[in-house]
Structure 1
Amino acid sequence: MTSILPTIHLRAIEPEDLDVLYTIENDTKVWNVSTTNVPYSRYVLYDYVANAKNDIYADKQVRMMIEDEHHNVVGIVDIINFDPKNMRAEVGIVIKQDYRNKGYALATITRIKAYAANILHLHQLYACINKDNEKSLALFEKSGFIKSNELKDWLFDGKKYHNALLMQLFL
């Protein structure tokens, strides 16, 4: 049985998104599944929004807001660590709490895969996911990513190190 994914739109970050961006970037629960471990000020985030070129070759990343069919922001998706020589990049996604477990993450990854292949012409997307994060691992596997390697003591949560799984998708 195939589930129907919600309709989403991806768009560039606008200055009006500062409050949403500030809330997501400073959510300490998200820090344990990412490489972030310090709070961001509104000024730093505003400066990023104001100065990002939205060109993956200039910025080495692309950040986009995820909107539902009513143009409510449901999260953020990042393509980061762009390597132009090898045509690969890391993907990260954060869905706001009220929108989790409703298919928005899967819909976003589906859209990002097409964008990475057809617009950016990437050869590969990858994600490093905490080995204990079963929901994220299942999401990326459902999206076609494969587990390729275990990275020992890769993520530090402030108290202990966790192994991560490198998930890869060849486009």
Structure 2
Amino acid sequence: MTYYWDLEMGPLRPVLARIGRREGLALAIRVIGWTVERMEPIKTVAARDWITTAMVAGREAVAAGRERPEFPVELVSSFGEVQADADDEAGVHSVLTALIACEEAPAGLSGEVVYGILDFCYQAIRDREELPEWNPETESSNWRCTEAIAFEKRCIREARATSI
């Protein structure tokens, strides 16, 4: 099945492939942060705390010019448990997955990794909207879904401009 995000963002895959890994991390952290803000409040305390700690590490990595964040060992080891605890809260699973994807990218954030992270961010927003079904028609008529895609596209354009 094709989703609205795939139709809108698929053509940008080659653009993401040309973005440097540092810019890719900055792009990913920016979009994840925006996504979390749109999802507030996250009610699952363990997930909210995990996300906060991971975002601090992500922002520190961006500020230091690194290609990927390094999460504290205890944060990484608690990922599965936190994710399981948050399974009942719409969208949180996708944000957690986006963040761990940043940390687990051994060679830094390639265009493909960033593409996947942006997809997870969109899924988080879409899931939070509790749409009756997922398809291009339903998603494109939801203002939050279209806002998420517009924001991601703008961030890609800006990252591409700084990566040249």
Indicate the structure with greater strand content.
1
Name whichever structure is richer in helix by fraction: 2
Normalised by the size of structure 1, how large is the TM-score?
A: 0.29
Q: Which has the higher contact order (CA 8 A, sep 6+)?
A: 2
